[in-house]
Amino acid sequence: MNTTVKSWYIVTVMDGEQLVGEVVYGTVIEDATNRFYEGDYVTTSRIVSIDVKAQQIITASNSCYALKGRGKRAVIDLDDFEMLRHGFSPEQIRALNSSSPLLAH
């Protein structure tokens, strides 16, 4: 196992009605590859394989992630993917998108 994450989401990335792919977003518990520190967030490359029973995923970059605890599912728009990559959780992205902009009178 390369990297173990908690507080994870399987995030479905959509471009309109088109599925772009799924990634994992989570908080690093430990990382054997020394790419991440404990407590860092990580957004993986596209998921290519999920073993639900073992709670393991393999990504397009051939990284292996162990998922600890119960996770959540989320859907984001491709336009918001950069926010995910910069550390915003799916719930933070949803909150930002739902807050109505101020209207000029």
What's the mean pLDDT in 97-105?
68
Query: Span 63-88, mean pLDDT?
Result: 96
User: What are the beta bridge partners of residue 47?
Assistant: 59
Q: Give the integer Cα–Cα distance in Å for 102 and 105.
A: 9
The answer on pLDDT for 78 being more than 90 is yes
Rounded CA separation 27/17 (Å)? 29
Q: Enumerate residues 6+ apart whose C-beta is below 8 A from 64.
A: 1, 2, 3, 56, 57, 58
Choose between 45 and 101: higher pLDDT: 45
SS3 2: coil
pLDDT of 66 above 60: yes
pLDDT of residue 103: 59
